[in-house]
Amino acid sequence: MNKTQSQLPKDTWITATWQEYIQTIDDPSYQKAKIYYHNEKLRIEMSPLGSDYANDHILVVAAITLFTITKSITLTGKDNCTYCKTGCQATQPDLSYYIGENADVVPWGTSMTNLGIYPPPSLVIEVANTSLADDKGKKRLLY
């Protein structure tokens, strides 16, 4: 990754260090971006979230909520939460859930969930908009 580059490429995996990932997530111009890091590669997604995506997203949330209520399953849902293994990977799934005995494992006030301290979520979900190929490819393998 070229540090002098004013805009990093979007929707593609580029070579980067963990420090460059940290600099990118701290950059205010990427505040609304979803940023992934894995195997020394960085991906930035800044796709507009339109009506179709929003409809699909809320439908998935509602279906999971209804199912877990009818089955008396304890869970905690997270919307666009960042999970990282410091120095090696970081993800931001659209939805993630801690289920059962792990439902309350991550305390309130935790900003970036460190997977070196807390377990990974029981379920992660990507709601595809423009990223379906990557959701089924590299991100699926990352999760």
Rounded-to-integer distance, Cα 74 and Cα 101, Å: 8
Residue 85, token pair as written in the block: 């293994």
Q: What is the per-residue pLDDT for 48?
A: 62
Q: What is the CATH number of domain 13-142?
A: 3.90.1570.10
Q: pLDDT below 70 — which residues of the chain?
A: 1-6, 47-49, 129-131, 133
Side-chain half-sphere CA neighbours of 84 within 13 A:
17
pLDDT at 131: 66
Nearest to 111 by CA among 139, 92, 127: 92
Quick one: pLDDT at residue 142?
Answer: 76
The predicted structure's pLDDT at residue 14? 94
130, 44 Cβ separation under 8 angstroms: no
pTM: 0.77
Phi and psi at residue 131, to the nearest 5°: -110, 25
